[in-house]
């Protein structure tokens, strides 16, 4: 992949991690940077990943360099060996040797022995095993616990706020009728968390129990051995191969009107947003979230800047107010209302969340001191009479699931998401779209038909609820977890992800969806002009308020689409070209590698003739408008 092409797709010259498929008869697995992805048995995904990971004290993941890598393959077996090392900020080094053996009879063993040369501090060191969610959520699981007892259980259907399974030694689930996968975990005590909380498309089994203190210390020169043994049994009636031919997009039913599409504006980015007002008008968002946190130094001057912005671009606006919790809720909210009035800021809504709730409280941990939410919401009603009042979490769905706000005091509930909490590779980030329907379904299960908003969401994280700070990424050149500055925001990848995100929540009955910003780390613009995500934002804004129709993809892992009125917006979620069959005759405007340079230069997409099929290049998007003859 040449440099300019990589930047166009991913916003960085950093190449995606190399992948090699290992095969032993009907057993297959993708070997990527020392770990396994998509372990398949007769073509069916059995396990999404088996990874040996070392996390630092902020839950950042070390990126060890492999050495002495050897891979041997035959028709009936494969064997992998490598060495790796993780170097802590204080210079202490954790070295480990890994072996992977796969066999055609369905047995796979991943073994690691780790030894630090000094006391090594970590939040987690060991194996993560990921089970997929499609076809697994809500289905049976057989658990063997560390004490030998057996539990017949089910993977949770709605997202579990805590850990569905504890004290695990082994878990068995069904891959397909008559086909099972048993995963045995030795060397520590394992437990499972529902990673859909963070929009990961997986159930994660990990070491060690969260109820134990962290960070913890691996003693110097003491070996730590862990072994994962995966055993698959049975033969499926059909393979997991996708039928050849184009991916078909069909329309199925009506779901009211599409959400109001919006973007977020922070005090830090308000001047740049005002300077790019023409571009904001070209997008045409129906809603703005105005982030405001006095603990970050925000004050009346920033509210005045928001007022200037709305005077220039009048639209619906919600003040996202972080309650400092240094004084009583009524005192702080009354002051905020006075500041808003002094600034001349006209709002349509205010959303309030206490500052302590910006930090995560894992299951079993003590909740931080925080005013009762009913008191907070009552004070907000008094301070901002007549405004629509929202609440929920300004961190992520995880925190909303664990601390379920008293929605009876609210006009709407809200939360954002980010795909970078646990993994930063391209596949994992795009796979988070699989989890979004489970997130919205769980919110509906908790809060019923309460008006529901999502955002502001982007690929990057705006803050870190799980550690002291966000991860640095100077120049946004690397794929790293828990960073605000993700390179893919600058590439076609972000445009496809944004359309896929909107498509994945289309049937949730959202009133508002806020994705990204005009400028800054989450922006659709940069100093050089437009980013591809600009056209994704523009397309979604065109759908706002139109009658929503459910767009169904015959292969949602490759293509997602959202439809409203006479338009369909389609996204190719893969780095390969995809042929797509449309549900009628449409006039299309396409953005992909074939025309991105011209589109970014001119600010316009070339409109193609009427067709019922298109080809989208890597991470391409298309806006299709139905013709009168369809």
The whole-number pLDDT of residue 172 equals 98
pLDDT at 136 over 90: yes
The whole-number pLDDT of residue 335 equals 98
Average pLDDT rounded to a whole number, residues 331-347: 98
Pairwise CA distance, residues 533 & 518, whole Å: 10
Q: pLDDT class for 244, splitting at 50, 70, 90?
A: confident
Fold equal for 18-233 and 261-362+369-545: no
Paired tokens of 548 = 């929503």
pLDDT at 505 over 70: yes
The whole-number pLDDT of residue 365 equals 78
As a whole-number percent, the residues of the chain with pLDDT over 70 amount to 98
The whole-number pLDDT of residue 59 equals 80
Average pLDDT rounded to a whole number, residues 551-564: 97
Pairwise CA distance, residues 371 & 380, whole Å: 13
Q: pLDDT class for 17, splitting at 50, 70, 90?
A: confident
The whole-number pLDDT of residue 528 equals 83
Q: pLDDT class for 295, splitting at 50, 70, 90?
A: very high
Paired tokens of 187 = 């060397």
Average pLDDT rounded to a whole number, residues 229-242: 86
Residue given tokens 């079993």 in the structure block? 364
Using only the alpha carbons of the chain, give its radius of gyration: 25
Average pLDDT of the chain to the nearest whole number: 95
Average pLDDT rounded to a whole number, residues 323-343: 98
402-407: long-range contacts at Cβ-Cβ below 8 A with a sequence spacing of 24 or more?
Answer: 402/161, 402/162, 402/360, 402/361, 402/363, 403/357, 403/361, 403/367, 404/446, 405/373, 406/373, 406/374, 406/377, 407/447, 407/450
Q: pLDDT class for 240, splitting at 50, 70, 90?
A: low
Q: What is the pLDDT of residues 408-451, one digit of tens each?
A: 999 999 999 999 999 999 999 999 999 999 999 999 999 999 99
pLDDT at 541 over 90: yes
pLDDT at 262 over 80: yes
Domain 261-362+369-545: assigned CATH number: 3.20.20.80
In sequence order, the β-bridge partners of residue 56 are: none
Q: Are 43 and 240 in contact (CB under 8 A)?
A: yes
Pairwise CA distance, residues 29 & 41, whole Å: 9
Q: pLDDT class for 247, splitting at 50, 70, 90?
A: very high
Report the CATH architecture of 18-233: Distorted Sandwich (2.70)
pLDDT at 333 over 60: yes
| DSSP structural state of residue 509 | -
For the chain, give every domain's residue range.
18-233, 261-362+369-545, 547-630
Sequence-distant (≥ 6) Cβ neighbours of residue 92 within 8 angstroms: 116, 117, 118, 119, 120, 121
The whole-number pLDDT of residue 629 equals 57
Pairwise CA distance, residues 340 & 301, whole Å: 10
The whole-number pLDDT of residue 368 equals 87
Pairwise CA distance, residues 42 & 51, whole Å: 22
The per-type count for the chain, helices as H runs and strands as E runs, is 11, 35
Pairwise CA distance, residues 359 & 55, whole Å: 18
For 547-630, which CATH superfamily applies? Answer: Golgi alpha-mannosidase II (2.60.40.1180)
Average pLDDT rounded to a whole number, residues 50-79: 93
Q: What is the pLDDT of residues 160-185, one digit of tens each?
A: 999 999 999 999 999 999 999 999 99
The whole-number pLDDT of residue 65 equals 86
Cα dihedral across residues 12, 247, 418, 352: positive or negative: positive
Residue 198, class by beta-carbon neighbours within 10 Å (0-12 exposed, 13-18 middle, 19+ buried)? buried
Q: pLDDT class for 467, splitting at 50, 70, 90?
A: confident
In sequence order, the β-bridge partners of residue 78 are: 73, 102
Sequence-distant (≥ 6) Cβ neighbours of residue 560 within 8 angstroms: 433, 499, 500, 503, 504, 551, 553, 570, 571, 573
């Amino acid at each position: 992949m040449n440099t300019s092409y990589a930047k166009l797709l991913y916003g960085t010259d950093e190449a995606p991690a190399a992948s090699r498929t290992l095969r032993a008869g009907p057993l297959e697995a993708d070997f990527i940077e020392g770990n396994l992805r998509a372990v398949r048995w007769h073509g069916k995904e059995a396990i999404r990943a088996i990874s040996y990971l070392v996390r630092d004290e902020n839950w950042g993941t070390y990126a060890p360099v492999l050495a002495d890598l050897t891979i041997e393959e035959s028709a009936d077996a494969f064997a992998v060996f490598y060495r790796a090392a993780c170097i802590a900020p204080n210079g202490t080094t954790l070295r480990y040797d890994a072996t992977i053996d796969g066999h055609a009879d369905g047995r796979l063993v991943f073994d690691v022995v780790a030894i630090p040369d000094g006391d090594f501090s970590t939040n987690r060191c060991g194996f993560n095993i990921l089970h997929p969610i499609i076809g697994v959520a809500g289905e049976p699981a057989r658990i063997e616990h560390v004490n030998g007892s057996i539990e017949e259980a089910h993977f949770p259907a709605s997202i579990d706020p805590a850990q569905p399974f504890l004290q695990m030694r082994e878990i068995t689930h069904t891959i397909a009728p008559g086909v099972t996968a048993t995963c045995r975990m030795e060397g520590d005590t394992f437990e499972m968390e529902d990673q859909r909380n963070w929009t990961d498309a997986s159930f994660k089994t990990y070491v060690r129990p969260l109820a134990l203190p962290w960070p913890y210390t691996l003693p110097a020169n003491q070996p730590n051995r862990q072994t994962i043994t995966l055993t698959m049994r049975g033969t499926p009636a059909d393979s997991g191969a996708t039928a050849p031919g184009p991916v078909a997009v069909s329309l199925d039913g009506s779901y009211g009107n599409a959400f109001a599409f919006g973007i977020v504006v922070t005090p830090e980015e308000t001047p740049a947003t005002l300077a790019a007002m023409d571009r904001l008008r070209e997008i045409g968002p129906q809603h703005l979230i105005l982030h405001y946190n006095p603990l970050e130094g925000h004050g009346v001057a920033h509210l005045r800047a928001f007022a200037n912005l709305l005077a220039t671009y009048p639209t619906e606006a919600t003040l996202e107010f972080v309650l400092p919790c240094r004084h009583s809720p009524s005192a702080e909210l009354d002051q905020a209302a006075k500041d808003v009035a002094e600034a001349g800021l006209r709002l349509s809504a205010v959303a309030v969340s206490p500052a302590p709730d910006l930090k995560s409280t894992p299951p079993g941990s003590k909740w931080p001191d925080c005013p009762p939410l009913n008191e907070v919401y009552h004070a907000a009603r008094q301070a901002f009479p007549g405004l629509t009042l929202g609440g929920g979490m300004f961190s992520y769905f995880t925190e909303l699931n664990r601390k379920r706000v008293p929605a009876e005091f609210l006009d709407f509930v809200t939360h954002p998401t980010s795909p970078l909490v646990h993994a930063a590779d391209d596949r994992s980030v795009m796979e988070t779209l699989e989890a979004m329907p489970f997130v919205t379904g769980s919110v509906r299960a908790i809060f019923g038909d309460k008006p529901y908003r999502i955002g502001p969401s982007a690929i990057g994280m705006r803050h870190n609820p799980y550690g002291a700070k966000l991860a640095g990424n100077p120049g946004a050149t690397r794929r790293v977890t828990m960073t605000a500055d993700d390179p893919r925001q600058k590439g076609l990848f972000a445009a496809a992800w944004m359309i896929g995100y909107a498509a994945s929540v289309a049937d949730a009955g959202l009133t508002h969806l806020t994705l990204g910003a005009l400028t800054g780390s989450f922006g659709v613009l940069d100093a050089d002009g437009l980013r591809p995500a600009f056209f994704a934002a523009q397309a979604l804004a065109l759908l706002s308020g139109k009658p929503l129709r459910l767009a169904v993809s015959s292969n949602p892992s490759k293509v997602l689409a959202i439809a409203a009125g006479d338009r369909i917006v389609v996204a190719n979620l893969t780095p390969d070209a995809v042929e797509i069959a449309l549900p009628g005759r449409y006039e299309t405007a396409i953005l992909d590698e074939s025309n991105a340079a011209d589109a970014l230069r001119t600010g316009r997409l070339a409109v193609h003739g009427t067709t019922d099929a298109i080809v989208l290049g890597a991470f391409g998007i298309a806006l299709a408008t139905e013709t009168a003859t369809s």
